[in-house]
Amino acid sequence: RPRGAARKLGLRQKLGAIFTILYILEQFFLPYSHFITKGYNNWTNGLYGYSWDMMVHSRSHQHVKITYRDGHTGEIGYLNPGVFTQSRRWKDHADMLKQYATCLSHLLSNYNVSEPEIYFDVWVSINDRFQQRLFDPNTDIVRAYWSPFQKTPWLKPLLTDFSPWRTKLTEIEKSLDNQTEVVFIADFPGLHLENFVSEHLGNTSLHLLKGEVTVEVVASQRNYTLQEGDKIQLPAGEYHKVFTVSQEPSCYMYLYVNTTEVALERNFTQLQELREKVQNGTETEPLPPELQPILEDSLGNATQADPVVEAFLHRQRRMEERQRRRNATLAERLQRFLSKKYFVFRRSLLMTSISLRNLVLGRPSLSQLAQEVAYANMKEAAQEETEPPGPERSDL
């Protein structure tokens, strides 16, 4: 072959080039394929995990209720959200909700529930909008139609008419004091929200921002009709229902104060001040036995510890752990990061192997399966002991 002559491409090079080009085109196409895969579209279009803007959307869930109805007896019951699964994505995706409902219908037959109907009431806020329903709560998802190529008929639309309210909602939140929390709700005409006000929320009120609603206090069986700008005080420890009776969607907000948390925070402050006085010698009176653990940072041999003292010590340990992590060296942070990733990949591999084994050989006994899942979910001992819980919040 003459020097400088072009080298002829072989079959392997041609196939590799074709595959590379097809792969790149596929990656460009998938984010825009939502006009084909309509069944996977929710409030945001596109296949989950293949949309370029999937990480710019933030979601929060305020209220999730699962109701089942026996197809033969008509008996109604409720399920704990997330029962029989460790995934939380079913709350946001119609295809996953359909799979979850089908799985629940099969499992409920083991609990003497015949031909169950399953209804989901999922409230979601996307990008700091109002909390609103994502799916039709009156649709039996087990028998509901779903296709990957057709629009999901039981998906509720995003109330984009309320999007301009986001600026006003932010202003309302900033105007509140540190003890008052707020939840913004939007609902469709003809539907209602059934809610329970916890006993800890001693000061809860509902303020109507737009539309017209009827509030039913279940215990007293009294109804109150609210117009735009009206408000009502809600009793703690009781159920109430909010019916949207206007022709247009309604929006309202709950303002509430966790009186139990406020009182507990006040007790924590007093214990912290007492602890500092004893340590610096300004407190001369001896502490009673039930308060001795605040000096030892441990409950020790106390058989009947004061619940407030116990909560105070737990909080102190969490604060110390957070401070320790902030002051950790680069090597310690790297070690913790690698350890965390190791257990994430370890769990993924083990759960995948368990699933494949169950598909091929069948599911083993529940006791064996529980042991295998517990082993897959095992975390590092030190991480499990010192892992601080997520941010505390008060939900209605």
Contacts of residue 229, defined as CB under 8 A and 6 or more positions apart, other chains included, come to 208
For 246-272, what is each residue's pLDDT tens digit?
A: 999 999 999 999 988 888 888 888 888
Report pLDDT for 17. Answer: 94
pLDDT class for 107, splitting at 50, 70, 90? very high
What CATH homologous superfamily does 173-260 map to?
Jelly Rolls (2.60.120.10)
What percentage of the chain has pLDDT greater than the value 90? 54
54-74 tens-digit pLDDT: 667 788 898 899 999 999 999
Query: Does 289 or 52 have the greater pLDDT score?
Result: 289
Q: Which two tokens stand for residue 52?
A: 């370029």
Q: Name 81's Cβ contacts closer than 8 Å, sequence gap at least 6.
A: 64, 65, 66, 91
The span from the CA of 362 to the CA of 201, in Å, is 48
The DSSP element (H or E) to which 252 belongs, if any, is: strand 250-257
Give the per-residue pLDDT at 285.
79
- CA nearest neighbour of 182 among 304, 60, 87: 60
DSSP bridge pairs for 243: 192, 214
pLDDT digits (tens, 9 = 90+) for 305-354: 678 888 888 888 888 888 998 999 999 999 999 999 999 999 999 999 99
Q: Could you tell me if 71 and 138 are in contact, meaning their C-beta atoms sit under 8 angstroms apart?
A: no
pTM score of the predicted model: 0.78
φ and ψ of 395, to 5 deg? -105, 150
Distance, CA of 320 to CA of 221 (rounded, Å): 49
DSSP class of 143: T
- Give mean pLDDT, residues 372-395: 60
Judge residue 134's burial from the number of C-beta atoms within 10 Å of its C-beta, 0-12 exposed, 13-18 middle, 19 or more buried.
buried
Alpha-helix residue ranges (DSSP H) falling in 281-380: 293-296, 307-326, 330-361, 366-376
Around 362, how many Cα atoms within 13 Å sit in the side-chain half-sphere? 2
Q: What is the DSSP letter of 33?
A: G
Using alpha carbons only, what angle is made at residue 118 by residues 368 and 396, rounded to the nearest 5 degrees?
Answer: 90
Beta strand 250-257 with 180-187 is antiparallel
Q: What one-character DSSP code corresponds to residue 218?
A: T
Q: Could you say which DSSP state residue 189 is in?
A: T
| Rounded Cα gap, residues 214 and 192, in angstroms | 9
Q: What is the pLDDT of residue 390?
A: 42
User: The tokens of 183 are what?
Assistant: 């939840």
Distance CA 118, CA 116 (A): 6
What does 120-165 look like in DSSP terms, one character per residue? EEEEEEETT--BEESB-TTS-TTT----TTS--TTBPPP-GGGTTH
- Beta-carbon contacts of 14 under 8 Å, excluding residues fewer than 6 positions away, are none
